[in-house]
Structure formats: C-alpha cells, structure tokens
Amino acid sequence: MTQRLHLVFGGELVDPTRTVFRDPERIHVVGVFPDYQSAYNAWKAEAQRTVDDAHTRYFIAHIHRLRDEATAASPTEELGL
C-alpha cells in the first residue's frame, strides 16, 4: 500500500497575494497526516480559525510527491513560482 503523507502548515505572509512568509521561524506546523482528507480537515480548521487575518494562510504540502524522484516537477515548480 502506498503511503501518501501530507503536511499542513501556515503563518503570516508579507503580502496576501504571494506566498512569502513574514517570519519563516514562526511558521505554524499543524502536523503530518496520513491521507488528504485528514490533512484537508486540519487545514480547514486552521483556515477558519484565522479567517479574519488576511495575511495568514495555511497550505497542504503533498510530501509523497517530494519523495517520488521519478515524477517530473510540476510546471509551477519549473517556473520558480
């Protein structure tokens, strides 16, 4: 069985239209989750908790994609965005 780990993290951004954290040392790591649904539930809870702060964003990182070196990078990664 393939394990599909997901990392949920977030924090305050410099500009809400970009994904640059104001202080990377203060990134809030919510946790690592064994499947997308549990990661989504954790992401949603944090996003709703901080809904009034336009500069705070939470993300889901697909760790299983980082581990698979045979898979090509996404077009976004290739552009450096």
CATH number of the CATH domain containing 49: 3.30.70.2400
Decide if 27 is inside a domain: yes
Mean pLDDT in consecutive groups of 10 residues from the start of the chain, 81 residues: 86 94 96 94 96 94 74 53 45
Distance CA(40)–CA(8), nearest Å, equals 8
Decide if 13 is inside a domain: yes
Q: What is the pLDDT of residue 72?
A: 60
Distance CA(22)–CA(14), nearest Å, equals 5
Q: What is the pLDDT of residue 81?
A: 45
Residue range of the domain that includes 15: 6-79
- Considering its fold, how many domains does the chain have in total? 1
Please give the model's pTM, rounded to 2 decimal places.
0.77
**Quick one: tokens of 72?**
């090509």
